[in-house]
Chains A and B, each alone.
Chain A
Amino acid sequence: MTGPSNRWWWTIVAAGMAIVASGAAALLVGWWSAAGTVAAGTSGAAAAALVGVLRARQPPGPQSEERRPSGHLGYPCACAEPSRRRLLCGGAVAAALVAGAAAAVPLWSATKRGEARLRATSWRTGTRLVDDRNAPIRSDDLEPGAFSTAWPEGHGDDGNAQVVLIRLPPDRTVSGPGRPEWLAAGHVAYSKVCTHMGCPVGLYQARTELLVCPCHQATFDVLRGAKPIHGPAHRALPQLPLAIDGDGYLIATGDFPEPVGPGYWSRPS
Chain B
Amino acid sequence: MKLVARTRRAVDKAGKKIFPDHWSFLLGEIAMVSLFILFATGIVLAFFYDASGERTTYHGAYEPMHGVDMSRAYQSVLRLSFDVPAGLLLRQVHHWTALVFVGAIVVHAVRIFFTGAYRRPRRLNYLIGLTLLVVSISNGFLGVALPDDLLSGTGAQIGYAIALSVPVLGAGIAGVLFGGEFPSEEMVHRFWLIHVFAIPMLIVALFSLHMLLVWRQTHTQYPTDGPADEVVGSRLLPHHAIKTAALLLSMAAVLVGMGALLQINPVWEHGPFEAAAATVPAGPDWYLMFVEGGLRILPALHLELGPVEVPSPFVAGIVVPALVFGTLAAWPFVEERLTGDRGVHHLLERPRDRPGRTAFGVAGLSFLAVLTLAANHDYLGGVLGVDVMTMTVAFRIVLLVAPALLGVVAWRVARDLAEADPAPDRQGVGHEEAR
Q: Contacts A19-B250, A26-B261, A62-B232 given: A214-B304 contact, CB under 8 Å?
A: no
Nearest-CB distance from A216 to chain B (Å)?
Answer: 7
Q: Are B175 and A110 in contact (CB under 8 A)?
A: yes
B321 in contact (CB, < 8 A) = no
Among the stretches A92-100, A114-122, A175-183, A239-247, the one at the interface with B is A114-122
- Assuming the A-B contacts A107-B172, A263-B165, are A200 and B277 also in contact, with contact meaning beta carbons closer than 8 angstroms in the complex? yes
Minimum CB–CB distance for A197 against chain B, Å? 4
In the assembled complex, A57 has its CB within 8 A of some CB on chain B: yes
Across-interface contacts of A22 in B (CB, < 8 A) = 257
User: Chain B residue with minimal CB distance to A193?
Assistant: B275
Q: How far is the CB of B79 from chain A (nearest CB, A)?
A: 14
Q: Is B276 an interface residue (CB 8 A)?
A: yes
CB distance from B151 to the nearest CB of A (A): 13
Count B interface residues, CB 8 Å: 88
Inter-chain CA distance A10–B251, complex, in Å, is 14
Say yes or no for A47: interface residue by CB 8 A criterion.
yes
Bound Cα distance A16, B254 (Å) = 7
Measured between C-beta atoms, what is the minimum distance from B351 to chain A in Å?
A: 23
Q: From B18, B170, B253, B308, give the contact of A64 (CB < 8 A).
A: B18
The answer to whether B246 touches A132, judged by C-beta atoms less than 8 angstroms apart, is: no
| Contact status A118-B312, CB under 8 Å | no
- What residues on B are CB-neighbors of A17 within 8 Å? 249, 253
| Chain A: minimal CB distance from B94 (Å) | 15
Tell me the complex Cα distance, A10–B55, Å: 52
A62 to B234, CA, bound (A): 5
CB within 8 Å for A63 and B232 given contacts A70-B344, A200-B275, A217-B388: yes
| Residue in A15, A19, A60, A115 whose Cβ sees the most chain B Cβ within 10 Å | A19
B182 in the interface (beta carbon within 8 A): yes
Within 8 Å CB of A71, what residues of B? 121, 344
Q: Is there a chain B Cβ closer than 8 Å to A74's Cβ?
A: yes
Q: Kindly specify which of B105-113, B236-244, B328-336, B416-424 makes contact with the partner chain.
A: B236-244
Tell me the nearest residue of chain B to A108, going by C-beta.
B172
B245 contacts A by Cβ under 8 Å: yes
> Is there an interface contact between A62 and B233, defined as CB atoms closer than 8 Å?
yes
Q: Residue B278 at the A interface, CB < 8 A?
A: yes
Chain A, 53-73, CB within 8 A of any chain B CB: 54, 57, 59-60, 62-68, 70-73
Say how far A163's CB is from chain B's closest CB, in angstroms: 10
**Given A30-B260, A67-B218, A199-B154, A110 and B276 touching (CB < 8 A)?**
no
* A266, CB-defined interface residue at 8 Å: yes
Q: Which residues of B contact A (CB under 8 A)?
A: 16-18, 21, 55, 85-86, 88-89, 121, 154, 157-158, 160-162, 164-176, 180-183, 185, 213, 216-218, 226, 228-235, 238-239, 241-243, 245-247, 249-254, 256-257, 259-261, 275-281, 295-296, 300, 302, 304, 307-313, 344, 346, 388
| 10 nearest A-B residue pairs (beta carbon) | A111-B172, A159-B275, A16-B250, A59-B239, A114-B175, A74-B216, A263-B311, A202-B278, A19-B253, A197-B161
25 residue pairs bridging A and B, Cβ less than 8 Å apart: A9-B243, A15-B250, A16-B246, A16-B253, A19-B250, A19-B256, A19-B257, A23-B259, A57-B238, A59-B238, A59-B239, A60-B234, A62-B233, A62-B234, A65-B218, A67-B228, A70-B346, A74-B213, A107-B169, A112-B172, A117-B180, A192-B276, A197-B162, A264-B165, A265-B309
- Chain A residues proximal to chain B, CB less than 8 Å: 1, 5-6, 9-10, 12-13, 15-20, 22-24, 26-27, 30-31, 33, 35-36, 47, 50-51, 54, 57, 59-60, 62-68, 70-75, 107-115, 117-118, 132, 149, 157, 159-160, 162, 192, 196-200, 202-203, 214-217, 232-234, 261-269
